[in-house]
Amino acid sequence: MTLQILPVTGLPEIDADSDLAALIAKAATYRDGDVLVVTSKIVSKAEGRVLRATDREAAIDAETVRVVARRGPVRIVENRNGLVMAAAGVDASNTAPGTVLLLPEDPDASARALRVRLQQLTGLRLAVVLTDTFGRPWRNGLTDVAIGAAGLPALEDHRGRTDSHGNELAMTVTATADELAAAADLVKGKATGTPVAVVRGLGHLVTAEDGEGARPLVRASADDMFRLGTSEALRQAVTLRRTIRAFTPEPVDPGAVRRAVDAAVTAPAPHHTTPWRFVLLESAEVRTRLLDAMLAAWQRDLRELDGWDDARIARRTARGDVLRDAPYLVVPCLVTDGSHDYPDARRAAAEREMFTVAIGAAVQNLLVTLAGEGYGTAWVSSTMFCRDTVRAALDLPAGWDPMGAVAVGRPAEPPRERPARSAAAFVEVR
């Protein structure tokens, strides 16, 4: 098989009055089975996707559905077609001053329309790939990728086949359309003014039907392990850190909890101390023993100290069901070893508060990290009201003060939406 990549030269400047397919058809001689690789910018111009805009950032905002990562003025975003790229594909190059160029509204539809017209004009069986320039995570430099396609499969699935050594391929799916886009860019490009190339010799890829287009190249969010930049991932984890009241019975990965504890113990603490201990209740028997002991202590105190009747006690203690129903519990404990011993009550109270703030920061790290692992949590204060009972049930040292309990598990349902909360209401500037 001989493979050729040929530039299509001599195309004029394209605008909204141009018959792009006719211009491409006249610019070169084509053969049956050719793949025409077309820079999306000229398709955008032919479709009138030129926007007069003095503020490129506003144009990017309009095309963005999700910010993936941001560093200074640079934004990697997801656009309306699910493409993750710099600046939503809004381009201020190769367009008149005072204007910006947007990507085609539906690149696959544009590829199909261009293919239909080219096949009518040439009488040949052709495929069309629309491209744009992308950066890539972990790699320097830019390359063209397919954002629209018609007449060929964008992906080639090799799973189930065997390699030259007889090993079955289990993961290999080739991004054929992206390979064609990158190869064609070797003979075209912005600087040369050659927006179209022909890839010849791959006629076996060209199909009678338009096919699914380039959409299969876009990774589904559920399969995307690198969906967000670092700061965005942290912000999303903080947002996802919601109190969850119902969990599925799916077991919790103990390794995920230990990774969360690794993050928890990086919290700031006074006097270079490590005032945290995390008791991980991985045994259902231990969880039940603790919760039964706590329930008995609560019932006794509410009856004897508060004078509540049984019905009211039952309603109050039912709040603990979130702990009983969770498949995993963590009991964070405060240890004040290393605290200063002040003789006056005022400074002694402040010293205790410093340590309490430290464990609050540690627990927040724990909750956010678990949210990043896909787990829901509920931090419940009940162990703080019966510390002696908890210490006895879990055989903890006398100096360990339980600071609530964290229920961990997969959420049984998504948390309800809540309105955005502006920081302005909580900020005072002096």
- Alpha-helix runs per DSSP H in 155-283: 176-184, 230-240, 254-264
- For the stretch 19-48, pLDDT in tens is 999 999 999 999 999 999 999 999 999 999
pLDDT at 177 over 60: yes
Expressed in angstroms, the distance from the first to the final Cα of the chain is 74
Domains 4-49+103-223 and 230-426 in one fold: no
Torsions phi, psi for 39 (to 5 deg):
-65, 130
Average pLDDT over the chain, rounded to an integer: 91
Residue predicted with more confidence, 156 or 209 = 209
Q: Is 102 exposed, middle or buried (0-12, 13-18, 19+ CB in 10 A)?
A: buried
Tell me which DSSP letter residue 415 carries: P
* Radius of gyration of the chain measured on its C-alpha atoms: 31
- For the stretch 61-105, pLDDT in tens is 999 998 888 877 888 899 999 999 999 999 888 788 888 999 999
Of 150-154, 231-235, 243-247, 407-411, the range with the lowest mean pLDDT is: 231-235
Please say whether the beta carbons of 176 and 199 come within 8 A.
Answer: no
CA dist., res. 17 & res. 47, Å (int): 9
pLDDT at 231 over 80: no
What is 230-426's CATH topology? NADH Oxidase (3.40.109)
Query: What average pLDDT does range 390-397 have in this prediction?
Result: 96
Please tell me the predicted confidence (pLDDT) of residue 71: 79
CA dist., res. 118 & res. 126, Å (int): 8
Query: What pLDDT band is residue 224 in, cutting at 50, 70 and 90?
Result: confident
Residue predicted with more confidence, 373 or 130 = 130
CATH fourth-level superfamily of 4-49+103-223 = CofE-like (3.30.1330.100)
Query: What pLDDT band is residue 171 in, cutting at 50, 70 and 90?
Result: low
pLDDT at 202 over 90: yes
Burial state string for 140-169 with b = 16 or more CB within 10 A and e = fewer than 16: eeeebbbbbbbbbbbeeeeeeeeeeeeeee
Q: Where are the domains of the chain?
A: 4-49+103-223, 230-426
- For the stretch 119-160, pLDDT in tens is 999 999 999 999 999 988 889 999 999 999 999 999 988 666
Please tell me the predicted confidence (pLDDT) of residue 191: 56
Closest of 23, 37, 36, 85 to residue 60, by C-alpha: 85
CA dist., res. 59 & res. 45, Å (int): 16
- Give percent above pLDDT 90 in the chain: 68
Please tell me the predicted confidence (pLDDT) of residue 218: 93
Q: Is 341 exposed, middle or buried (0-12, 13-18, 19+ CB in 10 A)?
A: exposed
Top mean-pLDDT range of 62-66, 160-164, 211-215, 371-375: 211-215
